[in-house]
């Protein structure tokens, strides 16, 4: 049933750029494909076939979501003749990608870009995850994103792929940043907890969690990593 909820929205490729390389996009918790539309458009203009994949993020656990959402998206890309399949995920979307690729070997896997991923969990879930309202708003997957040893981010393996992580260091949620999250953060996840053992590259941008997937620099750096396997040195801020 969950697979039926996935909305695969392919974008036509342009004549320039990579030949038949596909990118699967996954939005974050409580968001829709609209949040990834700017990323979708720019990647399409760069020559990629883009699958902006929607899913009901509050309906199931991380493992169930990753299976029901990513498996059909990957099949669609493969059926369309993808020579390589890249992935770009914001927040929870990045964790779903990580979960799926850690459990399933993909012969033509490309590169993975994670935007504000709680790769080591978020202290917000540690503090508020047991609250009824938090559970109501964020669903089962949101409740799994804590930092403790039995949380999903701590249990999920690391995919055999080149992974680039983009973290934010500005916040529009001062309560979270000053009270709940120690150190530099984007209002939802600390910079420290975006890091993943075995990642290929990591950069920090002066933007907040809700805006990472629309940030012009983040999008340019995403394309850079998909093409080169590394981020460009950031300009002085």
Tens digit of each residue's pLDDT (9 = 90 or more) over 93-119: 999 999 999 999 999 999 999 999 999
The model's pTM: 0.90
Convert the pLDDT of each residue in 171-201 to its tens digit: 988 788 888 899 999 999 999 999 999 999 9
The span from the CA of 146 to the CA of 56, in Å, is: 20
> 117: buried, middle or exposed (CB in 10 Å: 19+, 13-18, 0-12)?
buried
Does the domain spanning 2-228 belong to CATH 3.40.50.1820? Answer: yes
* Cα angle, residue 116 at apex, residues 178 and 62 outer, rounded to 5°: 105
pLDDT for the residue 111 = 98
Residues of the chain with pLDDT under 50: 1-16
Q: Tell me how crowded residue 39 is: count the other CB atoms within 10 A of its CB.
A: 26
Domain coordinates of the chain in residue numbers? 2-228
């Amino acid at each position: 049933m969950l697979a039926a909820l996935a909305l695969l929205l392919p974008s036509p490729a342009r004549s320039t750029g990579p030949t038949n390389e596909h990118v699967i996009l996954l939005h974050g918790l409580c968001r829709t494909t609209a949040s990834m539309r700017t990323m979708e458009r720019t990647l399409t203009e760069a020559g990629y076939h883009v699958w902006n994949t929607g899913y009901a993020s509050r309906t199931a656990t991380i493992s169930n979501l990753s299976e029901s959402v990513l498996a059909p998206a990957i099949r669609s890309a493969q059926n369309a003749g993808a020579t390589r399949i890249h992935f770009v995920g914001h927040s929870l979307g990045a964790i779903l990608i990580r979960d799926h690729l850690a459990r399933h070997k993909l012969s033509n896997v490309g590169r993975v870009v994670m935007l504000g991923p709680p790769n080591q969990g978020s202290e917000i879930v540690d503090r508020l995850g047991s609250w009824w309202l938090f559970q109501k708003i964020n669903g089962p997957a949101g409740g799994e994103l804590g930092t403790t040893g039995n949380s999903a981010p701590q249990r999920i393996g690391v995919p055999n792929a080149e992974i680039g992580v983009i973290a934010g260091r500005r916040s529009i949620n001062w309560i979270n940043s000053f009270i709940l999250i120690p150190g530099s953060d984007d209002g939802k996840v600390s910079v420290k907890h975006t890091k993943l053992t075995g990642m290929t590259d990591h950069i920090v941008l002066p933007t907040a969690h809700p805006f990472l997937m629309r940030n012009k620099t983040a999008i340019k750096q995403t394309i850079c990593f998909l093409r080169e396997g590394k981020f460009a040195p950031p300009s002085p801020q």
